[in-house]
Amino acid sequence: MKKTKSTSSISASIKETPRHLVYLDQAAACPVRPEVLTAMLPYFGERFGNPSAVYDLGSRVKGDLDAARAQVAGLINAGAEEIIFTSSGAEANNLAVKGGALARTHKGRHVIVSAIEHHSVLNSARFLERFLDFEATFLAVDGHGLVDPERLQRALRPETVLVSIMHGNNEIGTVQDLAPLAAMCRERGILFHTDAVATVGSIPVDVKELGVDLLSLSGPPLGAAKGTGALYFSGKLRLVPQIHGGIQEDGRRGGTENVPGIVGLGRAAALAREEVPGRAPELKRLADRLKAGVLAEVPQATFTGHPEKRLPGHASFCLEGLEGEALLFLLAREGIYASTGSSCASKALKTSPVLVAIGVPPALAQGSIVFTLGPETREADIDYVLTKLPPAVERLRSFSPVWRLRMAGGQG
C-alpha cells in the first residue's frame, strides 16, 4: 500500500515523540496484564453464557465466577462467600458506607469518616446526611494523615453505626494502622469499613489481621480491566443494595455480572498474591531514591505523607512557587507522566482536600506532584526523572513574580 502524504506526516510526528517514557501515575491507571487479558478473551466469544441461566452454558460460566471469587478472597484472606463483585472501588465504597449504614438505622444514624477519604466515601457520607437524616462526622487527621485513636474514641457515640477510614491514601501515600481502630469499633458493635484500593496489590492485606467488617478493592491497580472491583463483607453482614435488580451477588447487587472483567480480576488477584510480598521492597527502594533526589535537587520541596508508614511505590511532594498542572505538562513533553493527586479530583483544579486536611497551606498545595511507581519501574527511570524535574521546576518558577520576590528577599 502506497503511503499518502498525510500518513507520512503522521509517521514523522510519531518518530519525533520522545522515546524515553516513564509512567509514574500507576494510581490513576495501569495497563491490563497480558495474563489477565488472555484469561478474559474467551468470555467475549465462546464462553458468552449468562451465569444466571439454569442450563449448562450458564452453569459453566457460573463456575468460573465462583473460581474468580475464591481467587479474590484468597488475596485478602477472606472466604469466597464474603466477596461481592462491583464495577469499581468507588461503587464498593458506596455500597459499604450507604448500604452498611442503612442496614443499621435501628441502632442510630451517625457515621464517621476521616477527612482524607476518597470522594466516593466522603460524598456517600454527605448523601446520608443531606437526604436520609443521618449525621456525619469528618474526622481530622494529623500532619502525616494518620487518625489518632483517641480522637476517634471521642467521636464515637451510642448512635454511631459505621466508621470508614481508608487503609492507604493514594495522594500522600500514608498507610493507616487500622487494627486498633477497628478493634475499638468492634467492641462497641460499630461497623468498620476501609477503602483499601491503594493497598490491595501494593502490600499484603489480611482482613482477619486488620479486623475490618468491610473492605473495598479495585481491579486496575492489580492489572485487571477498568470497570472491576469488589467489596469484602464479614460473615452474614446485612447490606442494603444500592443497585436494585435481580438476585445476582446473593441479592446484594442487581445486574448481569461483568463476566470477562470478573474472570480477569480473579486472575490478577491470583498473580498479586504470588508477587506482592517480593515486589514491595524494590518499589520502596526506588521511591526512596526518588524522594532523596527531589529533596536534594529541588529547593523548597516538601515531602507529604508519613515518612515510613506509607505505600512502597509512592513519593509525593509540594513544590513552592508553581502550579502542579503546569509541571505535569512540561514533564509529559519529556515522556514523564505523574499526577497532582486523586485522578477523581485533579480536573476540578481545586485545592486538594487531602492536603488541606494535613495542614498544607493552599498556595503550597497548588504545587503538588505525586509519583506512583509500578512493577515495570527501573532505577534508570528514577534517574531520568531527576535529570528532567529540576529544570522544569526552575523554568516554571522563573515565570512567578512571587517566587522572584522570595528569592530576592522580599515579601511573598
Residue 279 falls in which region: left (phi positive, over 0), alpha (psi -120 to 50) or beta: alpha
Q: In what order do the strands lie in the sheet with 160-164?
A: 83-86, 229-233, 214-218, 191-195, 160-164, 110-114, 135-139
Using DSSP bridges, classify how beta strands 314-319 and 336-337 pair: parallel, antiparallel or unpaired. unpaired
H helix intervals, 334-378: 353-357, 362-365
Amino acid, res. 180: P
Report how far residue 312's alpha carbon sits from residue 168's, in angstroms, rounded to the nearest whole number.
Answer: 11
Q: Which of 143, 169, 161, 165 is nearest to 152 (CA)?
A: 165
Report how far residue 211's alpha carbon sits from residue 67's, in angstroms, rounded to the nearest whole number.
Answer: 25
Q: What are the φ and ψ backbone dihedral angles of 306, each rounded to 5 degrees?
A: -75, 135
* Residues 308, 175 contacting (CB under 8 angstroms): no
Q: Which helix (H) or strand (E) holds 112?
A: strand 110-114
Catalytic position from the list 30, 185, 318, 344: 344
Q: Which residues pair with 139 in a beta bridge?
A: 114
Q: Which residues of 368-379 are buried (b: 16+ CB within 10 A; e: fewer)?
A: bbbbbbbeebee
* Residues 411, 405 contacting (CB under 8 angstroms): yes
30 as an active site residue: the answer is: no
Report how far residue 405's alpha carbon sits from residue 179's, in angstroms, rounded to the nearest whole number.
Answer: 48
Please state at what angle helix 259-297 crosses helix 379-398, rounded to 10 degrees.
60
Catalytic site residues? 344
